[in-house]
Structure 1
Amino acid sequence: MPKRTPTTAQQLMQQLAADPEWVARHAQMEQLRAATSEDLRHDEAPLIAALHKAGVNVNSVWDLVNMPAPYPFALPVLAAHLDRPYAPRNLEGIARALAVKEARAFAWEKVWELVTNRWPELAEDFRAGLMTALSGMATADDLPKMISLITDRRYGPSRVLIVSNLTRSRRKEARQALLDLKTDPDLQKEIAYRLKTSI
């Protein structure tokens, strides 16, 4: 039996491009993706305008999330827009952009209130962003609060975003909390990985 020659990526794309059904499906998906992106851009327009007014020239809040340089002038603007009725994806971006120590003065209380008092009504994307923000803003003095969140199962899989915060702490109660949670189904993989790499 002759050996089959493996199909290259280019050949596969040529085969798919020759399939009218695939082409139609692909075009529809691209159209939907473009419409979603456009909707999100339109949704975050007031935030982007406020950031521009503060001298922060970005096209999307996600530009800040991926920015290596500090952006102090953006922080009060982001905090002010955190509880506005934006799309969950944009709210997630705002929260993740606040996941820096410098944001604490502007956003800690608001993020903590959203997590502890409004959690059930929040979209999953936004929840993940808020947990990331708390983890990024937390100081050593906040360790009891971080432990209270990560041990409370009501917060579900989003608690995994606090694991890295606890592994950065040198306090024995942080390590003990991780050891106590190492069989928690939402956290066990991340805790095992973090504990292994922190040895």
Structure 2
Amino acid sequence: MARVGLTPERLTRAGAEMADEAGFDQVTVSALARRFDVKVASLYSHVRNSHDLKTRIALLALAELADRGSAALAGRSGKDALTALADVYRDYARDHPGRYAAAQFRLTPEAAAASAGARHSQMTRAILRGYDLAEPDQTHAVRLLGSVFHGYVTLEQAGGFSHSAPDSQESWTRILDALDALLRNWPTTEAG
């Protein structure tokens, strides 16, 4: 018997919680049905399949991250803004490892267009305006920052820094200092 109150939103949130507990790769419609003690078929009126469920979790994670980023950036600029946004990604990955993994899920072009993904780019570009970067350098810098933030968080989550000194917080601070210095002194290319 299907439980009353199942909605796509409730299933998405439960799937996101499951991702944080067991890992994003463990999220399936079958696992979610077990969690609610219902038959798998009863969930198909709310989600099409496991890919649809994962897409919904990815959209939720991207929106949550964008909301946190927007709040953290309010009234900040320069290095303060850079550090605030970087810390949002790192803290979100620590607080919600499964959702953070979901935020990396490959979306269809339609889902990507409807996602908060564009807000992430806009926030990063807002920070970069404080460094006076023009195109195409601004796009290069967006890619650099995304790569550094995601790369560091991924390595840290995998335990890559847990057995060596200095501690990962000290490295994180130094990396952000170095990014700030690089952005303030962005290399220019000479016209041919």
Greater relative contact order: 1 or 2 (C-alpha under 8 angstroms, separation 6 or more)?
2
Structure having the higher Rg: 1
- TM-score by length of structure 2 reads 0.27
Query: What is the TM-score of this pair, normalised by structure 1?
Result: 0.26
